[in-house]
Amino acid sequence: MQDEEVIQQILGVVMLIPKGKVATYGQIAAMVGLPKHARFIGYTLKRLSPQSDVPWHRVINAQGRISIVGEREGINRNEQRERLIVEGIDVINGKISLKKFRWCY
DNA sequence: AACCTGACGACGC
DNA sequence: GGCGTCGCCAGGT
């Protein structure tokens, strides 16, 4: 699954998530025709560079929580939380309401 | 080939 | 809602 083709497709979909909305890993996976590959979406986003223009912060897990774990400069749990809040997405007790903020297509 | 490790998810209690 | 389990699947060893 190292297909550059697939990776670009995934990043392409993530780019479509509008500001102020979020999507889940599983949702993205399904959108690119790879259901059951939610984990691969995370793997792909993890490899992004800090200065990437891909809105990786708008991707969260199905429980409405942030799942990033690394501590890279520019890409970490707290950075994601801050970016979401700036966009008007409420993060209450580490949880985001998918009901309100999920990007429905 | 075998086994371990995840930025995951559905379900049951 | 919180938690534990189990199922998934690409990658790395």
pLDDT tens-digit readout, A78-100:
999 999 999 999 999 999 999 99
Q: CA-to-C1' distance for A47 and C12, Å? A: 15
What is the arithmetic mean of pLDDT over A40-59? 97
pLDDT interval class at A2 (50, 70, 90): confident
pLDDT at A1: 79
Which positions of chain C lie under 7 Å from any protein Cβ? 2, 8-11
Provide the total of helices (H) and of strands (E) in chain A, helices listed first: 5, 4
Q: CA-to-C1' distance for A63 and C3, Å? A: 13
Task: Return d(Cα A97, Cα A1) in angstroms, integer.
Answer: 32
Cβ proximity of A59 and A14 under 8 Å: yes
Cβ proximity of A38 and A26 under 8 Å: yes
